């Protein structure tokens, strides 16, 4: 289990694909681990050196002291790239991972090739929702929120047909360290890039889900209409479009990354 140690935290990462291929970094959503990208690994690793990692406070990455900030999460990625000797990478982030990717594109543009922002937003509000969720998890742990949160990750019809996938996602969420989840909730709560995303210069693909409740298509269209060099794709999915529509998700990303 490869690890990188930094300022009191340890970041777990994994590399797949040819060592000489261009690097594609995948950044996970709140309450998931790098395993959320399993439906993408084979397809992406055929063309790229795929770098996945657990955001601090998730999976095999230790929590460290919270609360966190998006700048801190983005800084972790910069240090991970430095640790691995990677000067520049394409970025693909979903939800919280998309926020991290936007921050990187704005603050470290030289490290970013192309940018894929999936099921994410420049601001995910209202702030009170995050404060209340953080307080509940702090008091009660992860188990009481697992079913309700995962119910927003997949459309109801799909979830009914895929009970094993639902249970696997709930288990992933329940296993997230309480302290790490709370600290990341605060990072998302305090993030607002609406006034900054017009400054993104990386060529960008925005992927939205037509049934996404946490980050609805309007959020994706805002990004697509604000980021200068951007295209928009909407899939028939909820929040984890990469899990619900893996073939279409993979095709959209690969076509974008291979395009002129």
Average pLDDT over residues 8-29: 95
d(CA 258, CA 21): 13
What integer is the mean pLDDT of 101-121? 98
Beta-carbon neighbour count of residue 247 at 10 Å? 9
Domains along the chain with CATH numbers = 3-258 (3.40.50.1820)
Cβ-contact 70, 187 below 8 angstroms: yes
Residues 116-152: tens digit of each pLDDT: 999 999 999 999 999 999 999 999 999 999 999 999 9
Q: Binning pLDDT at 50, 70 and 90, where does residue 4 land?
A: confident
Q: Convert the pLDDT of each residue in 189-218 to its tens digit.
A: 999 999 999 999 999 999 999 999 999 999
Name which of 185, 68, 195, 202 is nearest 134 in CA terms: 185
């Amino acid at each position: 289990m490869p690890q990188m140690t930094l300022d009191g935290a340890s970041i777990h990462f994994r590399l797949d694909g040819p060592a000489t291929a261009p690097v594609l970094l995948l950044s996970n959503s709140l309450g998931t681990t790098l395993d959320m990208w399993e439906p993408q690994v084979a397809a992406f690793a055929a063309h790229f050196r795929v770098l996945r990692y657990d955001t601090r406070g998730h999976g095999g990455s230790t929590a460290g002291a919270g609360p966190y900030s998006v700048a801190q999460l983005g800084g972790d990625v910069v240090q991970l790239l430095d640790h691995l000797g990677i000067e520049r990478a394409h970025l693909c982030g979903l939800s919280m991972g998309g926020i991290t990717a936007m921050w990187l594109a704005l603050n470290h543009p030289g490290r970013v090739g192309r940018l894929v922002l999936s099921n994410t937003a420049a601001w995910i509000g209202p702030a009170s929702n995050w404060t209340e969720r953080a307080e509940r998890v702090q008091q009660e742990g992860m188990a009481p929120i697992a079913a309700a949160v995962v119910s927003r990750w997949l459309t109801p019809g799909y979830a009914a047909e895929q009970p094993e996938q639902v249970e696997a996602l709930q288990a992933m969420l329940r296993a997230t360290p309480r302290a790490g989840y709370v600290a990341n909730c605060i990072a998302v709560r305090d993030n607002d890039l609406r006034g900054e995303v017009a400054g993104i210069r990386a060529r960008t693909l925005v992927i939205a889900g037509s049934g996404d409740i946490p980050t609805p298509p309007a959020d994706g269209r805002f990004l697509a209409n604000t980021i200068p060099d951007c295209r928009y794709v909407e899939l028939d999915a909820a929040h984890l479009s990469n899990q619900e529509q893996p073939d279409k998700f993979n095709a959209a990303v690969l076509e974008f990354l291979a395009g002129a």
